Amino acid sequence: MLRRVPAQPRSQVDRNYHHLTLEIFWFGLAAAATSRFLSMYAIRLEASPLAQGLLVALPGLVLGLSTLLAQWWRGRYVTSVGAVSLPGIGFRLVFMLPLFTPFFPADWQVPYLLVAATLPAVAQGIAGAIFLTFMRESIGDDRWDHLNSRRMTWFNVGVAIGAVAFGALLSSLPFPVNYQVMFGAAFLMSIVSQWYIMHTQPVYVTPAPAPSVDGAKVRVIDLPGFRGMVVTMLIAFLTFLSINAMLPLFLVDRLGGDETFIAVFGLIELAGGALMGMIGDRLVRKFGGRYTASIALGLTALAPVIIVVGGSLPLSLIAAFLTGFGWTGTSLSLLRMFMENVPTYAMPKASAVYQQVVSVGSFIGPLTGSVLVNGGVDIGLVLVLGAALRFGGALAIRFDLIGARHALVGGPQPIEAAASVSAGGD
């Protein structure tokens, strides 16, 4: 169980909740620069489909490797907020480094952009592996679903506002100055986000790992239901990301979209995500994480079909809404499954595994579609195949083909005042 830190009042939980909500809003404003326009930047630099896939895949690979350092890094700090601060700042360099791309010779600009997007993933992997523990220690389990749902909503609102603002900026200034100004502004917004993290104080303590009956420590991977949850996560990320990097390319090359339309497309997608964020916590509590994840992932399978078959920019906006609504629902469901299957003492190691699964999906998934397109396969066919993968993944999750049905816990309840707290907080 989580244990309350004696010196922290209940009102600190409310302040933490407020800080973590504002943090993700400001991060969402900044994230619009990379999540909505980094691929467009690569297209303007005439990056190949393979390079565009690597722009998403390489950070995922590095992120997974860097999570191996998370336990060592966490042990250097008394609290999780101290451990997450410096890597959090390092990760936010992903918004600043692309600003320097135009200063390189033309032949070096795409390779530099790949480096600029990849290097901050070292810090992201460390910060991400600690952040779930940090968040759980800050608000406890009883508000876990509600906070995640609220964060999803405000993240999407932030990205939506950022996408509109940056889209207008990119259309009003000449290239490449427009992208440089955008990345500079995004970096400043991300620092505001980091400020809120650094002012969030842990209220609960993650207890030391509990031994099994025979005295041996329980491995995270041996926890009941944990392996099934990991495979569920992997299926979701692999299938969803298999074609995600190719959607902007199809919208631009086949349907004639530009930065302004990409901004509108992103706005509609984020509106869908915000709507799911408002109702997602109630859905996962009522139907469970696994069932909700299967339905939500299935909705994302409809999006590429609508884009390819519809063949018009207006119809693609329907696909944008379904993508945002479905993927936000999937993400909330995965977080719910994570909490259900991980006791508090296993949070540090389980969080690292969570990040590693995300990184594997983020590395292999985008390469699937980009390698096919780079090899000459028609991009429309690749999108349809990706839709089939998403639908197949939804079926695998829905009918429990991977053994994810049984959860370990329903969520441990926090209790008051621990007699002592270990120096490492775990």
pLDDT band at 101 (very low <50, low <70, confident <90, very high): very high
% residues pLDDT > 70 (the chain): 87
> One-letter amino acid identity for 4?
R
Better-scored residue on pLDDT, 252 or 322 = 322
How many CB atoms within 10 Å of residue 127?
29
Domain boundaries in the chain? 3-207+218-398
Residue-level pLDDT at 9? 53
The answer to which of 147-156, 157-166, 337-346 has the lowest mean pLDDT is 337-346
- What is 3-207+218-398's CATH topology? Growth Hormone; Chain: A; (1.20.1250)
Which residue matches tokens 């906070």?
Answer: 147
Query: Among 95, 111, 39, 108, which residue's Cα sits nearest to residue 370?
Result: 39
Residue 215 region, left (φ>0) first, then alpha (ψ -120 to 50), else beta? left
pLDDT (tens digit, 9 = 90+) per residue, 306-339?
999 988 899 999 999 999 999 999 988 888 888 7
Whether the bond into 176 is cis, omega within 30 of 0:
yes
For residues 121 and 209, give the distance between their C-alpha atoms in angstroms, rounded to a whole number: 28
How many CB atoms within 10 Å of residue 273?
28
Whether the bond into 111 is cis, omega within 30 of 0:
no
pLDDT band at 7 (very low <50, low <70, confident <90, very high): very low
pTM for the whole thing? 0.72
For residues 372 and 370, give the distance between their C-alpha atoms in angstroms, rounded to a whole number: 5
% residues pLDDT > 90 (the chain): 32
In whole angstroms, how large is the CA radius of gyration of the chain?
Answer: 21
Residue-level pLDDT at 117? 93
Query: Among 306, 310, 338, 327, which residue's Cα sits nearest to residue 390?
Result: 327
* CB-based contact 80:134 (threshold 8 Å): yes
